[in-house]
Amino acid sequence: MRIAVFSTKSYDQEYFEKYNKEYNYSFSYYETALNPDTAKLSTDCDVVCVFVNDIVDENTIKILSKNGIKLIALRCAGYNNVDLDAAAKENIKVVRVPAYSPEAVAEHALALILTLNRKTHKAYNRVREGNFSLKNLIGFNLSNKTIGVIGTGKIGETFCKILNGFGCKIIAYDIAENENVTALGVEYMSLEKVFEQADVLSLHCPLNKHTKHLVNKASIETMKDGVMIINTSRGALIKTEDAIEGLKNKKIGYLGIDVYEQEENLFFEDLSEIIIEDDMILRLLSFPNVLITSHQAYFTKEAMDQITITTLENITAFDQNKALKNEVKQ
């Protein structure tokens, strides 16, 4: 099997080479993202392996089909960047990594909460400069605060378990209740009530037509004054311009995001020596109560192991004409 890996970073290649000894596949690694202009690089390959910001739209898929691609292997859980209808029309299968390390993402969400709240990033910089003042570093106890969790799949469930240990009151919304979450004492409510009651709101749901811009002007207005919003799921769950307005009028007291609506033009790259032209990310960075990380919530050794192994197993199942347990269908 010949596999074209797009959006490749050094660590991606390192892990594929580490585990490929058992599979002996032929990999072609490309730093560039997959899109209609770069799809030609898949010529003479059987599989393309893609990540969160690759553009796998109808135009891209048609080119992949002409090149003989029969499988799109996502090395991530989300698949909102893939046109599943177009893939089905071209008889191209799509597989993903539905679960790798829910602990990695859930723990990062907690890190964003604690860092924003206790301002440890600011304290670190101050002390390095010899400033030992506590002025403006005051935070709040998480104990007894109401944490609203949107999405209680594996990551949301793990997040609830962690926050339970802090003595928080946890409320949740999902289209289907998770009995493991209910067993923790978490109370399911309507989405509207979660928005209204949460001191901290953490998003752990997929991006689709129902969840896009879930956090918007209207929903922000129903939230508590000074609410903390955390997003480690998909950037477009939050309408960025409305979040900026919420920060300006102090309705949003804290914003921690590991994902961003327009991240495909920014994240995973070193842009320190160029002028960033994205006005919204620059505006977000100007707020002292905003913390942004660059889609690193998943990035642990354990997660990389599981992502790589599951991706290779998905490809092997396809190669051997076995049932694709991680296939994505429309």
DSSP annotation string for 81-115: TB-HHHHHHTT-EEE----S-HHHHHHHHHHHHHH
Q: Are residues 87 and 183 in the same domain?
A: no
Residue 171 and residue 92 share a domain = no
What DSSP line would sit under 276-329, residue for residue? ---HHHHHHHT-TTEEE--S-TT-SHHHHHHHHHHHHHHHHHHHTT---TTB--
Q: Is residue 327 part of a domain?
A: no
Q: Same domain for 108 and 68?
A: no
Q: Give domain status of residue 328, yes or no.
A: no
The range of the structural domain enclosing residue 207 comes to: 102-292
Quickly count helices (H) and strands (E) in the chain.
12, 12
CATH number of the domain within which 13 lies: 3.40.50.720
Judge whether 329 lies within some domain.
no
Q: Is residue 43 part of a domain?
A: yes
In-domain check, residue 196 = yes
* 278 and 236, same domain (yes or no): yes
176 plus 259 within the same structural domain: yes
Residues labelled as active-site residues: 234, 263, 295
Same domain? For 53 and 159 the reply is no
Question: Residue 265: what are its φ and ψ, rounded to 5°?
Answer: -95, 0
CA pair distance 260, 267, nearest whole angstrom? 9
81, 176: one domain: no
Alpha-carbon separation of residue 312 from 37, 126, 165 (angstroms): 26, 46, 36
Whether residue 192 is found in the same domain as residue 288: yes
Q: Are residues 92 and 169 in the same domain?
A: no
In a domain, 324, yes or no: no
Local mean pLDDT, 10-residue blocks, the chain (330 residues): 96 96 95 96 96 96 97 94 96 94 96 98 97 97 98 97 97 97 98 98 95 98 98 97 98 98 92 95 97 96 96 97 93
Does 330 map to a domain? no
Domain count, the chain: 2
Residues in the chain: 330
Are residues 312 and 174 part of one domain? no
How far is it, in rounded angstroms, from Cα 254 to Cα 246?
10
Residue 314 domain flag: yes
Is-contact 259 235, C-beta < 8 A? Answer: yes
Based on the fold, state whether residues 156 and 203 are members of the same structural domain. Answer: yes
Residue 275's SS3 state is: coil
Instruction: Please enumerate, as own/partner, the contacts of 57-60 that have beta carbons within 8 Å and a separation of 24 or more.
Output: 57/83, 57/86, 58/83, 58/85, 58/86, 60/34, 60/35, 60/36
**Same structural domain for residues 9 and 95?**
yes
**Coil, helix or strand for 61?**
helix
The per-residue pLDDT for 265 is: 86
Cα angle 187, 189, 190 (rounded to 5 degrees) comes to 170
Q: What is the pLDDT of residue 99?
A: 82
**Strand (E) or helix (H) holding 144:** none
Mark residue 266 as left, alpha or beta (left: phi above 0; alpha: psi -120 to 50; beta: remaining). Answer: alpha
